[in-house]
């Protein structure tokens, strides 16, 4: 059996600890410590290497992204990402990457986009919710920007309180940047 290497690094954010995971080349996970589905992309047949320094360029880039993001600015780059999942989940996560900073999209809107892409008359918003909830790279793949049909803050693996704070931070940042 071939052993896969996973590297993890801990980042201290204003909303609590974040664990980053990488295969050495791309980011494979980013979770608030203790969130639902924490560590879902860390393989059971792997030898995890906890890094106390940023010796991997991808982890350095991810930390830089987080630093820019938590400073209230929209990062203008994305570190390399590796998404290993079924095609449906990947399609949902690709749509999440298109949600603009400071804006939201509903589960129903995402379901409608997936249905159009697949040539289907409709798609289940609940199925979309399952894929959104299992997003292994929080924040960078902005699952916190997905809301219920009426704009309600439903479901977030990191906790509704964090979702609320992230959305407020992005909205406030947009207002500050728009002031002449």
Sign of the CA dihedral with 56 first, then 61, 62, and 67 last: positive
The sign of the dihedral angle between the CA atoms of 72, 75, 80, 83 is positive
Residue 115 contacts residue 154 (beta carbons within 8 Å): no
Q: What is the CA radius of gyration of the chain?
A: 17
Identify whether the C-beta of residue 38 lies closer than 8 Å to the C-beta of residue 25: no
- 63 is known as an active-site residue: no
Catalytic, out of 95, 143, 146, 157? 143
- Give the length of the chain: 180
Task: Please tell me the distance from the alpha carbon of residue 33 to that of residue 176, in angstroms, as a whole number.
Answer: 30
Strands (DSSP E) contained in 3-147 are: 4-13, 16-22, 27-32, 46-50, 105-106, 146-147
Q: Annotated catalytic sites, by residue?
A: 143
């Amino acid at each position: 059996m071939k052993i896969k290497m996973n590297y993890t690094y801990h980042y201290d954010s204003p909303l609590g600890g974040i664990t980053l995971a990488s295969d050495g080349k791309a980011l494979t996970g980013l979770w608030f410590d203790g969130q639902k589905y924490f560590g879902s992309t860390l393989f059971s047949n792997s030898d995890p290497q906890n890094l106390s320094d940023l010796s991997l360029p991808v982890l350095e880039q991810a930390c830089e992204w987080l630093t820019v993001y938590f400073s209230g600015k929209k990062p203008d780059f994305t570190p390399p990402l590796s998404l290993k999942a079924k095609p449906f989940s990947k399609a949902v996560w690709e749509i999440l990457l298109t949600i603009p900073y400071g804006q939201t999209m509903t589960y129903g809107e995402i379901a409608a986009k997936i249905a159009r892409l697949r040539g289907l008359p409709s798609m289940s918003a609940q199925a979309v919710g399952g894929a959104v909830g299992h997003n292994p790279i929080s924040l960078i793949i902005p699952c916190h920007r997905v809301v219920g049909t009426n704009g309600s803050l439903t479901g977030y693996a990191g906790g509704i309180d964090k979702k609320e704070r992230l959305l407020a931070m992005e909205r406030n940042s947009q207002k500050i940047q728009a002031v002449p």
